[in-house]
Every structure is written in structure tokens, then in C-alpha cells.
Amino acid sequence: MLSGVTVHILTTTGPATIQRIREEDSNVASVICLDGRAEALPVSPAYDAFVRKPIGIVEKLTGHDAYRMDISARVDEGRSWQLAAYIAHVALLKATAPDLHIFATGEVDDALSVRAVAHIAEKLQALSIFLETNDIPRDQAVIFIPAANENILLNHDGITVHAVTAVSDALQVIGPDDVIQPSEKLSRNNEIQTSGRGVGWAKWAVLLSIIGLLFWFGANFARWQALSDQGRAFELEEAINNPSNVVASLRSSVFRKWLSFRKPVDDYLKFDGTISIAANVGACMTPEVVSRGPITETFKSHATVCEIEMSAYVADPSLKVVGRMAYWPTGLGASERAMRTMRGHNKPTGRTWNLAFMEVPEPGAVVRLITITGRSVIQGPQPWFQDLLRATLESPAFTAARQRIEMLGYSVAVKDWHRK
């Protein structure tokens, strides 16, 4: 609630309500988080650019350059959230405003003009579904759509639709005259919240001191957390491994401890798999004579191995599993590169790797599966895989590579298959 105004971002999957906006320390990047969780959405870098000068326009309005915005549902990487976000920042500065639900979509440029966006019809259809299950008075709601979009109706499900060409058109609805100037903001609470009793100045002083201490100690935490949530593990590693001074080193150590708490532990991951065998290579091409059974760590039979399949899965839907399977026909790490390396196939609860042997494995062959499980899927460079896939489990190279990724909040698991 923003001084009586509730702002919703129109999306194709339903409105995302802006729940709260909070000022953050200027040393950190602005983030958009999901429902109060410690999870920065991928759109956060775009929000930071939208806020911070010289590109951003929010800092020009508010005089501050870093915020955390919590929303009730995810938004994509586009720009159609910008109109709603800007209105929310304006409402945060207002002393009073009518009780109103604002549903908005539109891109806002540097001149505060509202530009056209895509999928208006889908967003309005999703809004209709939202209204069926949410008790929102139609006479206390308004919809803002860019005037540049065509075929705009004047009314949708009993709610007035305004086609706007500039932010000022939208602000006329909530009244622009009593916006608090940046110099006045120190005298009020900068969070979106429902009205309540005032807090004494002594309590505020204590609270502000604590917040100041947290900001001093927690500078860069939001940026590091955003990198972690986006799976940008290599960038995160570089950021926290190069502290500029003693204080930065302390902050880095604390954040590493936080990552250790996020790392999956105990029985987070389950494996299963099958092995397909036949009497000879030719028989592998005849499904009717191929035998299938559960895979074991070693295979000692004289039969021909046609194919193996391994699966890794998790019960916790918040965890993501990725990995690589590598085939070493003459032994683990015996050659410069594995004969084959596979990323596997994504499944609802994990991942599956299938390896049909073009050259059937002879005694000494090894198949290694490395899985990396965490709260996000790793994006970008992943240099640790080289040692994880080729080095023996007891080797310093494997240990270093494993520790390297686990220090970033992930858990590493290994499954080796040997042809004896």
C-alpha cells in the first residue's frame, strides 16, 4: 500500500503487485525481489539502470539512487514494468492519495513519455482472471495503457482504461501536487506499508543506527546476492575473491558464510539409472534382444554394453540440477579430452543423461557424471568442470575444483561407472 495507492504491474501471467519499496545503501545495486524473499529477479539489473543516474529516471525524482522493490509475482526481462514502477516511486513520496488500485503497463523513456509495449490483449485477459479471485472494487481501480498501442477500449471488466502518452497523464489520477521533495524524505518512513501508530524518536534513532550499521557491514551484499540468484557464479567468484581492503575482506567472508547456509545438504539428491546390454555389437541395433537393468558402479560381464542412462533428481522444487557426463574410453583423464561430453536433458525434478555407445566400452572405460545443485542454474563460464570431469576423486585438482564451486553455494556430487 502506497499512501492509499496499490500499484500492480500488468503481465501476461497476471498482475504482479508492488508490495514494498525500500531505500538501500548507495553502494549497492537496486534489485527487484520476489515476495520478500532473498531472491533478486533477473530483471534487477534493468531496474538498477532505471533508477540510477545518468541513465535512470527514478533518482532524478527521489534524490536517491538505490532501492529494493518487492513484488508478488515474477516479471520478465522486458520494459513494460517501468510505468508501474515509476508510479509506485511517485506514490511513495506523496503525503496523501486516494484509495486506488492501479494496473499499469508501459515503457518510460528519459523524457517521461510512455512508449508502446507488446501483448496488451494477453495482459488484460490475465487481469480478468485475477479479478475473478480478488475482491477489488471496480470504482476504486484504474488501468493505464500506452496511447501508442492501438485498439484500446475505454473500459475493461468495469474498470476505466486510460490511454497515456506521458507519466504526467497517469499522475493526474492520484494527484501530483503534494509529492514530498527529496529533502523532506528524512522525516518519514520510506517503506510501502499500511498506516499504523508512530514510533518515538528515541526508537527511531536506535533503529536508524542499526540500519546504518547493517548498510556499512552489508555493502555489496545485494549485488553479490543478485549475481548468486542469477546463477552468474564465475562473476560472483571474481567479485568476492578480490577484496580491496580489510573491511571488504570481512564482508566477503560473511557473504561466503551466508552462501554456505544456502548450499544443499544431506539427502538433497537422488540417483538412478539403467544399463542396456546385448550379446554383441550387432545385437545392440535390435531392441527386442537388448536387456535393460539397473546400473551399478562397475560392470564385469563379457556382454556388450550398448547404452547407459543416469538420472539425478531432487524433491525440493527450489533446487536446480545441472551437470556434465563424460566418456573416457581408455580410462579417466587418459587423454586430453573425453571422447564425449553431454549436458543432459532437463526434467521436471532434475536431469537425465543418455549415452549410446558408438564404440562399445572395453575394460578400463569410465563414464563420469558430475552434478551441481543449487538455488539457481549456473550461467556463463564454468572453468571448474575440466578438473571435475577428468581428475581422480582423491587428487588435489579435483578437491580444489569441488571446493571452488561449493564455496559459491552449490553442492557437487559424483557418479562414476567403470567397465571392468
Cβ neighbours around 74 below 10 Å, total = 15
Share the mean pLDDT of the chain. Answer: 84
Q: How deeply is 138 buried, as exposed, middle or buried, from its count of CB atoms within 10 A (0-12, 13-18, 19+)?
A: middle
Q: Return the pLDDT at 227.
A: 87
Cell of 258: 551466508
Q: Return the pLDDT at 133.
A: 87
Strands 159-164 and 141-146: parallel
Q: Assign 363 to helix, strand or coil.
A: coil
The stretch 203-214 carries a mean pLDDT of 53
Q: Return the pLDDT at 123.
A: 93
Give residues with Cβ within 8 angstroms of 124, minimum separation 6: 10, 143, 156
207 pLDDT band, cuts 50/70/90, is low
Cβ neighbours around 342 below 10 Å, total = 15
Q: Find the Cα–Cα–Cα–Cα dihedral 83, 84, 90, 92, rounded to 10°.
A: -160
Q: Look at the alpha carbons of 214, 216, 221, 223 in this order and tell me if their dihedral is positive or negative.
A: positive
State the chain's maximal CA–CA distance in angstroms: 86
- Centroid of chain to Cα 58: 23
Ranges 99-108, 214-223, 363-372, 375-384: which has the least confidence: 214-223
The stretch 267-278 carries a mean pLDDT of 92
**Alpha-carbon distance 118 to 105, whole Å?**
9
- Centroid of chain to Cα 41: 4
Number of helical (H) and strand (E) elements in the chain, helices listed first: 11, 20
Q: Where are the beta strands (DSSP E) in 201-303?
A: 270-278, 291-294, 298-299
Give the residue, 243 or 79, on which the prediction is more confident.
79
Give residues with Cβ within 8 angstroms of 88, minimum separation 6: 2, 7, 18, 21, 69, 192
Query: Domains of the chain, with CATH numbers?
Result: 5-192 (3.30.230.10), 197-262 (no CATH), 270-419 (no CATH)
Give residues with Cβ within 8 angstroms of 166, minimum separation 6: 111, 112, 113, 114
388 pLDDT band, cuts 50/70/90, is very high
Give the tens place of pLDDT for each residue, 172-204.
876 654 444 443 443 343 443 333 334 445 555
Q: Return the pLDDT at 219.
A: 52
Q: Return the pLDDT at 95.
A: 54
Whether the CB-CB separation of 382 and 234 falls below 8 Å is answered with yes
Q: Return the pLDDT at 235.
A: 87
Q: Return the pLDDT at 189.
A: 38
**Alpha-carbon distance 96 to 166, whole Å?**
22
Q: Return the pLDDT at 249.
A: 76
208 pLDDT band, cuts 50/70/90, is low
Q: Return the pLDDT at 188.
A: 40
Ranges 163-167, 263-267, 397-401, 414-418: which has the least confidence: 263-267
Q: Return the pLDDT at 322.
A: 92
**Alpha-carbon distance 180 to 160, whole Å?**
28
Instruction: Name the nearest CA neighbour of 160 among 148, 149, 151, 173.
Output: 173
Whether the CB-CB separation of 419 and 365 falls below 8 Å is answered with yes
Whose cell is 562397475? That residue is: 298
Q: Return the pLDDT at 3.
A: 54
3-state helix, strand, coil in the chain (%, to 5): 30, 30, 40
Q: How many residues can be counted in the chain?
A: 420
Q: Return the pLDDT at 98.
A: 67
